[in-house]
Amino acid sequence: MVVARPVIRVPENVGKLRTSIRLLSGWKFLVVFVGLIAWSNQADADELYCLIEAIYFEGRSESVEGQLAIANVVLNRVRSKRFPDTVCGVVRQCQFSYYCDGKTEIMHDKKAKRTAHFIAKFGLDGMEVSSIIGATHYHAEYVKPYWVRFTKRLKKIGKHIFYVEE
């Protein structure tokens, strides 16, 4: 019998969220959002919106695991002394491809926006993808940024590769 490792680490306080997380065979999983009872973090609306926007534009075609990993990177940067100390500050540094591409950020896909909203709340509540804990960088698989040589590769999730600073 094969026992899968948990893909997502769920902190104790996430019990305040009424969710069902089911691990399927291998590394695939399904998150069923039943609804929110309470949200323990009181991040302001702008910070939440910035995280939703980052998840939506950077990873709406990714799995829930991939989208949560993107949220984790943004939030890890907020906690780092090397980056701004707010979600909006991190996202608006122009290190995320969507923000400084000259296009207006309009989230047309309502389902993807709703998913990004739930994932942002889970990320702000401390839910993490266990294989990329501490990651502060990621990039799409088709680019090779200069900073790769200064980081340690953690995992490829969907079309993104995640790294931690060495």
- For each of the domains in the chain, give its residue range(s) and CATH number, in order of start: 8-165 (1.10.10.2520)
- Specify burial of residue 71 (Cβ count, 10 A radius: 0-12, 13-18, 19+): buried
Give the residue, 4 or 123, on which the prediction is more confident.
123
Bigger pLDDT: 6 vs 40: 6
Phi, psi (degrees; rounded to nearest 5) at 151:
-130, 170
Separation of CA 125 from chain center: 12
* Interval 28-66: pLDDT, tens: 333 333 333 334 344 478 899 999 999 999 999 999 999
Please give the average per-residue pLDDT across 148-163, as a whole number: 97
- Alpha-carbon distance 74 to 7, whole Å? 19
pLDDT score recorded for residue 2: 46
Q: Is the pTM of this model over 0.85?
A: no
Indicate if the pLDDT at residue 122 is higher than 80: yes
- Rounded Cα distance between 51 and 25, Å, is 30
With 0-12 / 13-18 / 19 or more C-beta atoms within 10 angstroms meaning exposed / middle / buried, residue 69 is buried
pLDDT tens digits along 84-119? 999 999 999 878 877 777 777 899 999 999 999 999
Task: Kindly tell me if the per-residue pLDDT of 6 is higher than 60.
Answer: no
